[in-house]
Structure formats: C-alpha cells, structure tokens
C-alpha cells in the first residue's frame, strides 16, 4: 500500500463515485477495517464546490442504524425530520375532497420512526467529513479505464494516474461508465415520466405527516422536512414535466397548489423546480473480475416507494460485510468467490424491488375507472389488516429479509 495519501499508486479498494453510495461504502469499510485498510474514492465532483441542490430523500430506519454504527448520524440528526405517519389517497387532479384509503403509523419499534427525510446535501457533507476524519483518500478525477488482471485491477484516471487495486467498486450512478467498460448489460425501460422535485414552505405544521396522492399522471408525494417545509416529488409525463418546470414561478405555484391542496395553509416555493427522467434499469450482473457494482450503477428504480438509495445502502452493507469477512481471514477481498457472495446476496432482492416498484407505478399512474376501483379496494383491504400494514412498514424501513449487519446497527 502506498504511504503517500495524496498519490495512492496502490490501494486496498478504489471506489469510483463519491455520491451517497460511494461515500457510505468508504465510511463503512474504514469504520470496520481500520486505518491499515487503504480506501480511495475518485470522483471529479470531489473537486467542485458543494452542490446547491435542495433535493431530499427518505432515509429508512435501516439506513439510520448504519449511519449510527458508522458515526455519521449525529451530524445528520439536527436536519432530519422523522416521518411520524403517512396517508395515501387516490383521486382525480381537480377533486376537492381526497378520500384517504390507507394510513400508516410511522414507527417500527417504540420511538423508532420507519424513515427520516433529510437533504441529500446534508447527508453527503456528513459522510465526506466522516470519511476525511477516518483517513479515506479523495481524488478529484474520474475513472477513465480499467483492466482486470489475475491478482488486481489496473485503473487509469482521467488525470493520467494509474492505480493498482484488488477491487474497483463502481458507485458511478445510473449511467455507469464502469458498468459499460466491463460489458455488463442492463434490463429495463424508460417510464416516459419525470419526477418534478421542489421544496415548499407552508403556513401550518405538517406534524411529521407524509402524503402520497395517486393522481392520474402518477404519484404526487408531500414529504415532511424540518420546520414548516416539505419536499415534493411530483410525477408527470416527461414533456409536461419539462413544460411545468419552465413556467414562471407564480404559474408553477398555481399548478402545484391544485395538487398540494389547502390542508397546510398558504404555500410558497423555496427553490427552483427540476425534473428528473424516471426509468427502471437493473444490471444483469453485479460483479465482473475485480469489479463490483453498488447503488444506482447496479439498479435504478422508480421513486414511488422512496427506496432507490436505501437499496444502495443495502448493497453497501452487504459488500462491506463480504469484504470484512474476507479481509479478516487474510483472503484476497477482490477474489471471484467473495464477489460471487455479494452478487448472490443482492441480486434477487433487487429484482424483487424493481418488479414491485414497476408494478406499483403502472397500477397507480392510471386514470381508468375500473383500475382505480380495484386498487382502491386493495388499499382499503391493507388498511383494515394491521398485520399486513406492519409488514409493509417493516419492508419500507429496510429491516426484513437477510439484513446485513450494518443495517441492523452492528459492525460487520
């Protein structure tokens, strides 16, 4: 391992991509394997000023447990809003009254909310600070090419540096260059929909309530942030979403208000709306020789259930556990059998979540009366069955199935 932290010609692991997935993997590995395990993150964005984006995400209870175990949560907590309950409605856009079909209490255990809303920028900053404190090496450059050899991969960065590593991890997002370089194909499709994201201020307190309104164009979610603010994720057909985002602010606000309703009093727009195209994309393989895919590089899903990065954290925790087990036994942590264990752990679960969110989106982005009748019957049924409701809440919290140690709040 190189002794010069600014020029790691050799590193135990090279993570390409310093988004939420890449940074949390770096922090998880350093926390569990200590200072002798040299972790490097390469991302051109590491050299740029912090993002101005006010995007926020729902971080499931399992993610919070991991952040607590890795010493990140204290820096996030002041800006994290617990989701205390949730209501689901199904109506037409202009309906004045929106009957509530489903309600959820938001706890998985006494005092433990199933999710928190927090700004992506706050979580990214907390992860970066923690990674720096733990001695992770940051390189502000992208991975341009790599070649897998028998015992290690040789990775070339865009700035010309060449780094040898037993394992390269692609955390480089939905359009992963590394996935393409490895020849890994994906399955999926575009939904022809985009998610309009913005932040609103409102007169009354949301009291920690999240709302999901199933409107004919797709789900319209109101997600509580700290203070009298909420984050909006509003699904529309892509052309319409782009036209809406180009509207003058007052006209956009009128359109928003029609969907938002008046329960929280007067509303104001706190940032500039932006539209993100939505699709489903799952990698056929999660590993290749000396390479593992993590986060959106492995799977992109519809945000209808707020599970995208939470699935990424499941990858992070599973990979960290596979690598920690191998490293402690003195095994080559980038070897094929270690990577095969990671793939077995994550691929089935990912496929199930991809199919579920795809089905939910098709079912709920549909204005047909018979379809509405059937889905409302289903929602009403779930609402009356406490066992089923609790199952859904535990699923959303990420604490069901074969949960990796970190997501249970334990070190791998």
Residue 287 tokens, joined: 């590993």
Burial 156-167 (b: 16+ CB within 10 A, else e): ebeeeeebbbbb
Residue among 294 and 326 whose Cβ is closer to ligand FAD: 294
Residue among 44 and 71 whose Cβ is closer to ligand FAD: 44
Alpha carbon distance 351, 240 (integer Å) = 30
Residue among 18 and 166 whose Cβ is closer to ligand FAD: 18
Least separation in angstroms between residue 180's CB and ligand FAD is 10
Residue among 198 and 327 whose Cβ is closer to ligand FAD: 198
Alpha carbon distance 237, 281 (integer Å) = 18
Alpha carbon distance 23, 312 (integer Å) = 11
How would you class 373 by CB atoms within 10 Å of its CB: exposed for 0-12, middle for 13-18, buried for 19 or more? exposed
Alpha carbon distance 12, 26 (integer Å) = 11
Residue among 145 and 371 whose Cβ is closer to ligand FAD: 145
Residue among 188 and 325 whose Cβ is closer to ligand FAD: 188
Q: Tell how far CA 335 is from the center of its chain.
A: 27
Residues near ligand FAD (CB under 6 A): 16-22, 42-45, 57-58, 142-143, 171-173, 177, 195, 197, 233, 276, 295-296, 303, 306-310, 312
Residue 106 tokens, joined: 């938001």
Residue among 43 and 152 whose Cβ is closer to ligand FAD: 43
Cβ(115)–Cβ(18) below 8 Å: no
Least separation in angstroms between residue 395's CB and ligand FAD is 13
Residue 186 tokens, joined: 């994906």
Least separation in angstroms between residue 90's CB and ligand FAD is 20
Cβ(411)–Cβ(320) below 8 Å: no
Residue among 47 and 265 whose Cβ is closer to ligand FAD: 47
Least separation in angstroms between residue 100's CB and ligand FAD is 21
Least separation in angstroms between residue 369's CB and ligand FAD is 28
Least separation in angstroms between residue 387's CB and ligand FAD is 25
Least separation in angstroms between residue 218's CB and ligand FAD is 11
Neighbouring C-beta atoms of residue 180, cutoff 10 Å: 13
Helix ranges (H only) for 115-248 are 120-134, 177-181, 238-246
Please provide residue 379's backbone torsions phi and psi, each rounded to the nearest 5 degrees: -60, -45
Least separation in angstroms between residue 268's CB and ligand FAD is 21
Helix ranges (H only) for 77-175 are 120-134
Residue among 102 and 157 whose Cβ is closer to ligand FAD: 157
Strands (E), 149-273: 153-157, 162-165, 168-170, 186-202, 209-215, 218-225, 229-237, 267-269
How many angstroms separate the most distant Cα atoms in the chain?
67
Please provide residue 138's backbone torsions phi and psi, each rounded to the nearest 5 degrees: -105, 130
Residue among 273 and 308 whose Cβ is closer to ligand FAD: 308
User: Which residue, 289, 286, 306, 313, is CA-closest to 297?
Assistant: 286
Alpha carbon distance 348, 201 (integer Å) = 40
Residue among 69 and 155 whose Cβ is closer to ligand FAD: 155
Residue 187 tokens, joined: 């399955």
Least separation in angstroms between residue 328's CB and ligand FAD is 27
The conformational region for residue 38 under phi > 0 = left, psi -120 to 50 = alpha, else beta, is beta
């Amino acid at each position: 391992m190189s002794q010069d932290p600014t020029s790691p010609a050799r590193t135990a692991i090279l993570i390409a991509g310093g988004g939420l997935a890449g940074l949390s993997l770096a922090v998880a590995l350093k926390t569990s394997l200590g200072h002798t395990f040299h972790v490097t993150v390469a991302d051109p964005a590491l050299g740029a000023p912090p993002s101005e984006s006010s995007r926020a995400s729902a971080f499931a209870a399992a993610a919070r447990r991991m952040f607590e175990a890795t010493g990140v949560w204290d820096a996030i907590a002041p800006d994290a809003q617990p989701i205390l309950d949730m209501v689901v409605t199904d109506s037409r856009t202009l309906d004045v009254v929106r009957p509530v079909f489903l309600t959820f209490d938001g706890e998985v255990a006494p005092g433990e909310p199933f999710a928190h809303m927090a700004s992506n920028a706050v979580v990214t900053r907390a992860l970066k600070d923690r990674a720096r404190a733990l001695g992770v090496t940051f390189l502000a450059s992208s991975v341009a090419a790599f070649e897998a050899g028998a015992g290690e991969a040789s990775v070339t960065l865009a700035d010309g540096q060449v780094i040898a590593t037993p394992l390269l991890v692609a955390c480089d997002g939905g359009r992963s260059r590394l996935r393409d370089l490895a020849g890994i194909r994906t399955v999926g499709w575009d939904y022809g929909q985009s998610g309009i994201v913005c932040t609103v201020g409102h007169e009354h307190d949301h009291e920690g309530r999240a709302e999901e309104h199933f409107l004919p164009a797709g789900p319209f979610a109101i997600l509580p942030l700290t203070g009298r603010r909420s984050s909006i994720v509003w699904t529309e057909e892509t052309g319409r979403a782009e036209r809406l985002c180009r509207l003058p602010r007052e006209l956009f606000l009128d359109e928003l208000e029609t969907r938002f309703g008046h329960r929280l009093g007067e509303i104001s727009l706190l940032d500039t709306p932006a539209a993100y195209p939505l699709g489903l994309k799952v990698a056929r393989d999660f590993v290749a020789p000396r390479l593992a895919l993590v986060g959106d590089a492995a799977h992109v899903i519809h945000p209808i259930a707020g599970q995208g990065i939470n699935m990424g954290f499941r990858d992070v925790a599973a990979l960290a556990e596979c690598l920690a087990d191998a490293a402690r036994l003195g095994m080559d942590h980038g070897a094929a059998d270690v990577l095969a264990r990671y793939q077995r752990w994550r691929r089935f679960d990912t496929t199930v979540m991809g199919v579920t969110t795809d089905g939910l989106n098709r079912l709920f982005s549909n204005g047909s009366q018979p379809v509405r009748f059937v889905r409302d019957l289903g929602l009403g049924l779930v609402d009356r069955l406490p066992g089923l409701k609790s199952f859904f809440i535990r699923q959303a919290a990420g604490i069901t199935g074969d949960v990796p140690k970190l997501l249970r709040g334990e070190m791998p």
